[in-house]
Structure 1
């Protein structure tokens, strides 16, 4: 018996936007212990590779997870699989949009597959791929 909400359907889309700042980066550094110079915006290490300071891709992935938790499906679930390709870096101060679209619903397994696209304020794709989530009973 499926526990997936009958209001969910193929083609349904949800999105969230966020601008990442220095405080977000500081929290990322503390939680992951990733103090690589390329993410230290007060240093000039990033200038060797990029024209603007970048933010770690893991922060953008967090925005993807927020869409799942808050909007689609917006209920208790577990991430089973993710296949993401990082096309361009996200830069400090960019308005990043994470957009998820349901492309498959497996009622028997309570799995939802979603297409993922993340892009900046210029429409440049940052991340593209897909995820599979397991919707939990009672979620």
Structure 2
């Protein structure tokens, strides 16, 4: 479902859930050239820092932008600002839920501000923050 800006309201919430695989981490590493040892793709160096290989933050952020593009507002938009705090590592295989809640709507600028909360399968908060998006059109696609 896609929403017009006039159909959005403060307190509106949407969620998506997924887990990340070793292959997805590998693809992310190849695309971003982020060769950090904590991802554990070619060695066991991650054991110095974590109990298991972790998922790159950029990959986890992709779930947040998927909520925006698929559900809230689910229409053409541009990410203007993001402020995210990574509280806890996301491990390969974790089931992550991204929840976005509208906290402000600026009709004049076509801006929507959303609170971001991501948590894992045990309820541990892994990411918290907010995003501001610009809705590019005000008609249903």
Matches within 5 A, 1:44-55: 44-55=44-55
Deviation at 1:52, TM superposition (A): 1.6
In 1, Cα distance between equivalents of 2:24 and 2:115: 26
Runs of 5+ in structure 1 lacking a partner?
Answer: none
TM normalised by structure 2 equals 0.92
**Which residue is equivalent to 1:63?**
63
Taking the aligned partners of 1:98 and 1:73, their CA distance within structure 2 comes to 15
Number of residue pairs the alignment of both structures matches: 137
Shift of residue 4, structure 1, vs aligned partner: 4.2
2:131: which partner in 1?
A: 131
Q: Which moved more, 1:103-112 or 1:39-48?
A: 39-48
**Contact 1:4/1:107 (<8 A) preserved:** no
1:29 Cα deviation after fit: 1.1
- Equivalent residue, structure 2, for 1:89: 89
Three-state SS of the structure 1 residue aligned to 2:27 is helix
Distance 2:41 2:27 in 1: 14
Q: How far off is 1:37 after superposition? A: 1.9
| Corresponding residue of 2:99 | 99
Structure 1 SS opposite 2:7: coil
- After superposition, the CA RMSD in angstroms is 1.4
Q: TM-score, normalised by structure 1?
A: 0.93
CA distance in 2, matches of 1:90, 1:41: 15
Q: Where does structure 2 lack aligned partners over 5 or more consecutive residues? A: none
Separation in 2, partners of 1:134, 1:5: 10
Q: Say yes or no: does 1:116 pair with 2:116.
A: yes
